Amino acid sequence: MENGMSMQAYIEEAERDLLHTYNRYQVVFDRGEGVYLYDTEGKKYLDFVAGIAVFALGYGNQDYNSALKEQIDRIIHTSNYYYNVPAIEAARKLKKVSGMDRVFFTNSGAEAVEGAIKAARKYGYLKDGCADHEIIAMEHSFHGRTMGALSVTGNPHYREPFEPGIGNIRFARLNDFESVEALVNEKTCAVLLETVQGEGGIFPAEEEFLKKLRDLCDKKDILLILDEIQCGMGRTGFMFAWQKYGIKPDIMTTAKALGCGVPVGAFLMTEKVGAHSLTAGDHGTTYGGNPLACAAVSKVLDLFEEDHIIEHVRKTAVYLERCLDELAARYDFITERRGAGLMQGLAFDRPVAGYITKALENGLVLINAGANIIRFVPPLVIGEEDIDKMIEILDGALMQ
């Protein structure tokens, strides 16, 4: 314990000093190793949150850590007035795994969504010179907390205190193509959705729905924007979840596991959009794409390939699904398991906060996705023995 302070003393200090925008769990994490976290008093916790789908490679990966340390000793920041090698290398590797053509690095997922919105609006503006284009987003979606990202988040609870948003946003229903089609008009410039809804309850988009959206957007010259911030970077068993369905977006966003802990995001686009949207002076960022963040991206992409992360996710996800199904079958109050890969949810007929708290007390880190859903987004390197341990602890919490 630093300075001899107890964990409770740290928590009390945080409550005095930090703006109270989170109802935090009563734990102060101090270090990590593999798929485990340790608090300031040395207690060990199995981590099935991974910093909200961020720490894909687990804690203490020495190749990752060494790459960051080496970059820190070389150079951390120069600004986007100049080129830097890690950004160039990271963009090349990200293009290769995504099949997209142009990359813009941001500091976060919300900023990636902001950039995607601006690119879509500029694409529409260049077609007809009008600045009143509309974006169709999905109900129950979550895209971030900044004003643009909030405006396309399909949960009124998040938006209402901060209205008016950016305007000209309409909301359809995920997997209901007719609800999208009914909103399309001559002002529609983009359709935006998460390939797997995260905060909204772990709902995957269906293949038929995505293919119909792609056809509609092609016919109407509307941009399809897919938010892969939480479901991307291998989490569903594909580098990006949309790659399973034989379609391709015009713009996509990524973040979270892109840097595996270093704050970094990106929005990517096809050459068609790149040539007919944002140009010099339209968009910028001081920190985005800095050498440190991009060194993280570059190394993460290397390690995904070298360590066969995608193959491991596909194998491990089958086991996780089976174990969650068996657990759900034992409790009448668990109504459904849904998800894709290592992004899973158990739906309950009641609030889950108490179960999550009890699991934490017993050394398991979980989070919710809405009041009635427990979300499972562990490091992608978990093994079957880790899943067994998670089920054992969660089962004990459910029996309380």
- Which of 306, 336, 369 is the C-terminal boundary of a domain? 306
Distance CA 35, CA 203 (A): 25
- Which of 266, 284, 306 is the C-terminal boundary of a domain? 306
Whole-angstrom distance between the N-terminal and C-terminal Cα of the chain?
A: 32
Distance CA 203, CA 173 (A): 12
pLDDT along the chain (400 residues), means of 10: 79 93 93 97 97 97 98 97 97 98 98 98 96 97 97 94 95 98 98 96 97 98 98 98 97 98 98 96 96 98 98 98 98 97 98 97 97 97 98 94
| Residues 186 and 226 occupy one common structural domain | yes
| Residues 225 and 367 occupy one common structural domain | no
**How high is the pLDDT of residue 3?**
60
User: What values do phi and psi take at 214, rounded to 5?
Assistant: -60, -45
| Residues 286 and 229 occupy one common structural domain | yes
Distance CA 22, CA 20 (A): 6
| Residues 152 and 298 occupy one common structural domain | yes
User: What values do phi and psi take at 219, rounded to 5?
Assistant: -70, -35
Q: Tabulate helix, strand, coil % of the chain (nearest 5).
A: 40, 20, 40
The total of structural domains in the chain comes to 2
| Residues 296 and 178 occupy one common structural domain | yes
| Residues 273 and 292 occupy one common structural domain | yes
Q: What is the CATH number of the domain that holds 391?
A: 3.90.1150.10
- Which of 306, 327, 343 is the C-terminal boundary of a domain? 306
| Residues 253 and 363 occupy one common structural domain | no
Cα 358 to Cα 183, 246, 391, distances in angstroms: 44, 42, 13
Q: What is the CATH number of the domain that holds 231?
A: 3.40.640.10
Residue 166, Cβ density class (10 Å: 0-12 exposed, 13-18 middle, ≥19 buried): middle
| Residues 48 and 174 occupy one common structural domain | no
| Residues contacting 314, CB < 8 A, separation 6+ | 237, 341
SS3 state of residue 95:
helix
| Residues 169 and 291 occupy one common structural domain | yes
| Residues 43 and 125 occupy one common structural domain | no
Give me the domain span that covers residue 284: 63-306
| Residues 212 and 67 occupy one common structural domain | yes
**How high is the pLDDT of residue 158?**
93
| Residues 241 and 300 occupy one common structural domain | yes
